[in-house]
């Protein structure tokens, strides 16, 4: 995964060359920012977390072992930075609990056929907002793996390395995460469709 | 196969990760199942939506990062720091694995079948002093970067952990503003001495006196013990949990308390009497199992059909286990050595909530305790208890 340019930059950056480090930042800030965005759920935090990650990288470069993949290290740092952040602001428990509660109703799996056409709900204008909403309701671990796979387009092997889990676990966790996200989207979609003004109110009330 | 058992195949299908056999089986099912076809379509739409919504980072992000980078003089320090911290970590870990005792832990006076040990034990809970902040393992080093020596010296980045650290004289529930739901007994279904939800695992906890616990297993109850890593067989219905006895010659490395980097690691407890080599009791919550399945080697005992779908992974590789443990709980563990030998052993038990609480109370002062569970205690029907036994000797 490491290109020759990247290796060069890495070596220089390790020696303290900020310009070389900037090249690394330019190369990776978008995928890392998107990972952080999906994990934290808001752009401000995402920018902060991206920044924090790169700062950690800069500080830790001396200790970076060139035998491991730089990008793996980056993704791992970023996602752990986000997880720590989520824990420290205590969003995680709230999020987890929602999931824990709904986990109990796993049988909801059968989507009744008469449900207001999920397709249209999924494709509604508010899609972006709904998607963000739904993502925020997932376990951080689920957001994390969905983003790594779908947004960052990483292979199961890479994800397994980043998260320190087996590929089999990547597979099963991804399935669980996809299913959760699908359900959340249907829920928010259906809610939005049945009562969009209500939804606005709810969102306002929830605040930060 | 039921429909929801095809979900993993559907998901892997999208990623092209099914084996030939799996794919054939899925296709066969899809031909005959409209619902799964819809499910697949929705999953694909969801994926597509995520890709379509890839965002551009703020324009000034690079500048922000680089400003900060340039403001920070690059020092040749990391390698020394790493080695130093490895030694420090080993020492610290040998001495103890400890967490801030915090939040809404309903430990004092929590009803249980055993003796109410809570009050006195609670008072033994070690206060955290500022000294603990100077502990060799800082919260920073618990972050992922420590594998690679990404050691931060920026004091500002330790804010969250400083916030979470000081306990001193405050009551535990006051200390953590994040614990927004103070423990109130009436809200707890578990506080009532009603029969437990799980028939096979009566919360029949027999607890021995902690004072005599150094040779006898401290706790036994109707639980299903399971060797975490090696044992692959189904749990015995009537097996008995015996937490490992403590080493009798547990002498004096002063027990400090290391602040947890994260506020959500709810309770943990180290008393003055906690032996140096005391096993670490990690209490895990059932709600986390969905996300951390590979970490729980014991089949999740449950009556409900959907929960029993949960299939835990067996034979977790050492490095995986280590990483998961560290990323899930900010434990101060020494780094994994090259031979991938874990510096600890893990046994896990799936127990009803009441049993967990009884164990928890009983183990204070005998075990080092770390626990993690969500704020709403009602969610607890099962907990997974991990007993982490250190296999690394303290470094003098």
Token pair of A39, please? Answer: 């994990």
Nearest chain B CA: its distance from A198 CA (Å): 24
Structure-model confidence comparison of residues B122 and B47, the more confident one: B47
CB contact burial B308-336 (16+ within 10 A = b; e otherwise)? eebebbbebeeebbbbbbbbbbbbbbbbb
> What's the angle, vertex CA B8, arms to CA A40 and CA A176, rounded to 5?
25
B262 touches chain A (CB under 8 A): yes
Residue contact B153–A59, C-beta within 8 A = yes
Quote the CA–CA distance of B309 and B254 in Å, as a whole number: 45
Arithmetic mean of pLDDT over chain B: 48
The DSSP 8-state label assigned to residue A16 in this structure reads T
Q: Determine contact, residues B160/A88, Cβ cutoff 8 Å.
A: yes
Closest listed residue to residue A54, CA positions, set A88, A87, A86, A31 = A31
Residue contact B62–A175, C-beta within 8 A = no
Q: Determine contact, residues B365/B338, Cβ cutoff 8 Å.
A: no
Q: Determine contact, residues A194/A117, Cβ cutoff 8 Å.
A: no
Quote the CA–CA distance of A168 and B311 in Å, as a whole number: 12
Closest listed residue to residue B263, CA positions, set B184, B178, B193, B382 = B178
pLDDT at B58 over 50: yes
Size of interface A-B (CB pairs under 8 A): 258
Q: What is the pTM of this model?
A: 0.45
Other C-beta atoms closer than 10 Å to the C-beta of B251 total 9
Token pair of A103, please? Answer: 């986990």
Token pair of B21, please? Answer: 């056999």
**ipTM, 2 decimals?**
0.73
Out of B61, B62, B148, the one facing A63 most closely (by C-beta) is B148
B57 touches chain A (CB under 8 A): yes
Mean pLDDT by 10 residues, chain A (208 residues): 75 86 93 93 92 89 72 88 78 33 33 44 63 86 92 92 85 89 81 46 36
Other C-beta atoms closer than 10 Å to the C-beta of B369 total 29
> pLDDT band for position B165 (50/70/90)?
very low
Q: Determine contact, residues B42/B49, Cβ cutoff 8 Å.
A: no
Structure-model confidence comparison of residues B334 and B10, the more confident one: B10
B69 touches chain A (CB under 8 A): yes
Arithmetic mean of pLDDT over chain A: 74
Other C-beta atoms closer than 10 Å to the C-beta of A157 total 11
Quote the CA–CA distance of B295 and B282 in Å, as a whole number: 12
Q: Which residue of B has its CA nearest to A97?
A: B374
Bridge partners (DSSP) of residue A49 are none
Would you call B194 helix, strand, or coil by DSSP? Answer: coil
Residue contact A29–B145, C-beta within 8 A = no
B305 touches chain A (CB under 8 A): yes
Out of A33, A87, A186, the one facing B262 most closely (by C-beta) is A87
CB contact burial A122-151 (16+ within 10 A = b; e otherwise)? bebebbeebbbbbbbbbbbbbbbbbbbbbb
Token pair of B148, please? Answer: 């690679």
Residue contact A165–B14, C-beta within 8 A = no
B24 touches chain A (CB under 8 A): no
pLDDT at B315 over 50: no
Give residue-wise pLDDT tens across range B195-213: 333 333 333 333 333 333 3
Q: Which residues of B touch A178 (CB under 8 A)?
A: 7, 10-11, 14, 43, 46-47
Give residue-wise pLDDT tens across range B339-374: 555 666 555 555 555 555 565 556 555 555 555 443
Closest listed residue to residue A145, CA positions, set A72, A98, A79 = A79
B292 touches chain A (CB under 8 A): yes
Out of B66, B74, B152, the one facing A56 most closely (by C-beta) is B152
Closest listed residue to residue B328, CA positions, set B369, B359, B358, B373 = B373
């Amino acid at each position: 995964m490491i290109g020759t340019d990247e290796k060069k930059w890495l070596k220089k950056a390790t020696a303290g060359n900020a310009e070389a480090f900037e090249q690394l930042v330019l190369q990776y800030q978008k995928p890392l920012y998107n990972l952080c965005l999906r994990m934290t759920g808001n752009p401000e935090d995402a920018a902060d977390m991206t920044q924090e990650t790169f700062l950690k990288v800069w500080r830790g470069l001396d200790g970076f072992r060139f035998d491991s993949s730089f990008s793996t290290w980056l993704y791992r740092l970023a996602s752990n930075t986000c997880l720590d952040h989520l824990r420290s602001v205590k969003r995680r428990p709230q999020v987890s609990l929602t999931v824990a509660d709904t986990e109990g109703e796993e049988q909801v799996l059968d989507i009744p056929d008469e449900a207001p056409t999920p397709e249209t709900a999924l494709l509604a204008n508010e899609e972006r907002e709904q998607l963000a909403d739904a993502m925020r309701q997932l376990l951080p671990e689920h957001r994390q793996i969905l983003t790594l796979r779908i947004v960052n387009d990483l292979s199961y092997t890479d994800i397994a390395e980043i998260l320190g889990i087996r590929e089999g676990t990547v597979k099963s966790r991804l399935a669980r995460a996809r299913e959760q996200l699908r359900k959340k989207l249907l829920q928010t979609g259906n809610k939005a469709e049945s009562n969009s003004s209500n939804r606005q109110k709810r969102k306002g009330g929830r605040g930060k | 196969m039921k429909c929801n058992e095809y979900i993993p195949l559907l998901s892997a299908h999208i990623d092209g990760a099914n084996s030939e056999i799996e794919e054939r089986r899925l296709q066969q099912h899809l031909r005959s199942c409209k619902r799964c076809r819809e499910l697949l379509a929705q999953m694909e739409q969801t994926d597509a939506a995520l890709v379509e919504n890839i965002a551009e980072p703020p324009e000034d992000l690079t500048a922000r990062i680089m400003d900060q980078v340039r403001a920070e003089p690059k020092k040749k320090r990391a390698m020394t720091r790493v080695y130093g911290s490895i030694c420090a970590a080993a020492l610290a870990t040998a001495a103890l694995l400890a967490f801030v005792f915090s939040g809404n832990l309903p430990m004092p006076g929590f009803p249980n079948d055993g003796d109410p040990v809570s009050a006195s034990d609670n008072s033994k809970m070690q206060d955290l002093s500022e000294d603990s902040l100077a502990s060799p393992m800082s919260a920073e080093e618990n972050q992922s970067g420590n594998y690679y020596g990404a050691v931060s010296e920026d004091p500002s980045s330790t804010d969250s952990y400083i916030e979470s650290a000081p306990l001193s004289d405050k009551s535990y529930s006051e200390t953590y503003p994040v614990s927004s739901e103070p423990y109130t007994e009436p809200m707890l279904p578990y506080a009532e001495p009603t029969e437990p939800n799980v028939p096979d695992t009566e919360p029949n906890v027999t607890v021995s006196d902690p004072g005599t616990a150094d040779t006898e297993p401290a706790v036994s109850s109707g639980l299903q013990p399971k060797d975490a890593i090696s044992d692959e067989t189904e749990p015995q219905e009537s097996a008995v949990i015996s937490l490992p006895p403590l080493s009798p010659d547990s002498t004096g490395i002063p027990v400090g308390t290391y602040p947890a980097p994260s506020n959500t690691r709810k309770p943990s407890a180290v008393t003055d009497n906690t032996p140096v080599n005391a096993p670490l009791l990690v209490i895990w919550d059932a709600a986390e199992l969905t996300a951390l399945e590979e970490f729980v080697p014991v089949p999740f005992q449950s009556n409900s059909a959907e929960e029993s779908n949960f299939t835990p992974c067996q034979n977790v590789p050492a490095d995986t286990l280590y990483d998961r443990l560290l990323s899930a709980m900010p434990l101060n563990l020494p780094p994994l050595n090259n031979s991938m030998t874990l510096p600890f052993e893990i046994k896990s038990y799936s127990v009803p909530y009441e049993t967990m609480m009884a164990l928890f109370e009983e183990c204070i002062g005998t075990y080092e305790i770390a626990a993690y569970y969500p704020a709403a205690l009602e969610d607890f029907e099962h907990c997974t208890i991990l007993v982490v036994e250190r296999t690394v000797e303290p470094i003098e």
